């Protein structure tokens, strides 16, 4: 029950904060974010396009993530589920900010109706 409450709390926080997420984030270096994202293996679970994937279970899409920066950082430092933790020994706060900036720069979702072969 405690877990469910935490998850719900997180969702509410994420929804309330979604409009302000980019502004709340520290300035990030997009190019370095891309480099770190690829070099440190974030892409192995979340995809080079931030499309998500699968590890022991589904891994979420991160392209244009609605998660606020603080939540994003918290997930890296002390992750839920099976995601490995990235401590400040291996990834600085600035690198996390860079990755976050890179995630926000990705194209994100399109209207599936605009892709004919997804209509079948």
Partner 1 sequence: MRRTQSKRTDDSPTIPRRNFLKGATLAGAAALGSPVPANALSSAPKANLKAAAPGPRQIAAETQPPVKDPVTQTSSGGDFMVDVFKTLDVEYLTMNCASSFRGLHEAVINHGNNSKPEIVNCPHEDIAVHMAQGYAKIAGKPIAMICHGVVGLQHATMAMYNAWCDRVPVIVMGGNIVEANKRAPGAEWVHSAIDPAAIVRDYVKWDDQPTSLQHFAESAVRAYKIAMTPPMGPVMLSLDAELQENPIPDAESLRIPKLAKVIPPQGDAGALAEAAKLLVTADNPVIICDRFARTGAGMARLVELAEALQCAVVDNAGRMNFPSRHPLNQSFRRGTVIPQADVILAIEMNDLWGALNTFSDRIVRSSQPITKKGAKIITLGSRDLYLKSNYQDFGRYQDVDLAIAGDGEASLPFLVEQVKRLVDAGRKSAYETRGKRLAAARLAMVEQAKSDATLGWDASPITTARMCAEVYAQIKDADWSLVGNSIRNFWPQRLWDFKKPYQWNGGSGGAGVGYNLPASLGAALANKPHGRLTVAFGGDGDFLFNPGTLWTAAHHQIPMLYVVQNNRAYHQEYMYLQAMAARHGRGIEKADIGTTIKDPNVDYATVARGMGVHGEGPIIDPNDLAPALKRALAAVKAGQPAVVDVVTDPR
Which of 19, 114 has the CB closer to partner 1?
114
* DSSP string of 54-105, one letter each residue: ESSSEE---TT--S-HHHHHHHHHS-STTPPP--TTTS-HHHHHHHHHHHHH
Least distance to partner 1, CB of residue 85, Å: 6
Asked whether the beta carbons of 46 and 61 are under 8 A apart, the reply is yes
Binding site for partner 1 (CB under 8 A): 39-41, 43-45, 47-56, 59, 61, 63, 81-82, 84-87, 89-91, 106-112, 115, 117-118, 120
Which one, 27 or 54, has the nearer CB to partner 1? 54
Least Å from the CB of residue 24 to partner 1? 23
Q: Indicate the residue among 18 and 87 with the shorter CB distance to partner 1.
A: 87
Closest separation in Å from C-beta 76 to partner 1: 9
Supply the DSSP symbol for 40.
T
Measuring CA to CA, which residue among 64, 82, 84, 80 is closest to residue 21?
64
């Amino acid at each position: 029950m405690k877990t469910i409450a935490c998850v719900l709390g997180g969702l509410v926080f994420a929804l309330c904060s979604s409009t302000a997420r980019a502004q709340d984030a520290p300035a990030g270096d997009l190019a370095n974010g891309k480099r770190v994202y690829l070099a440190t293996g974030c892409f192995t679970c979340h995809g080079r396009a931030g499309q998500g994937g699968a590890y022991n279970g589904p891994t979420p899409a991160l392209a244009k993530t609605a998660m606020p920066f603080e939540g994003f950082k918290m997930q890296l430092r002390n992750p839920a589920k099976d995601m490995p933790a990235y401590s400040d020994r291996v990834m600085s706060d600035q690198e996390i900010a860079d990755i976050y900036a890179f995630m926000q720069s990705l194209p994100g979702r399109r209207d599936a109706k605009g892709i004919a072969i997804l209509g079948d």
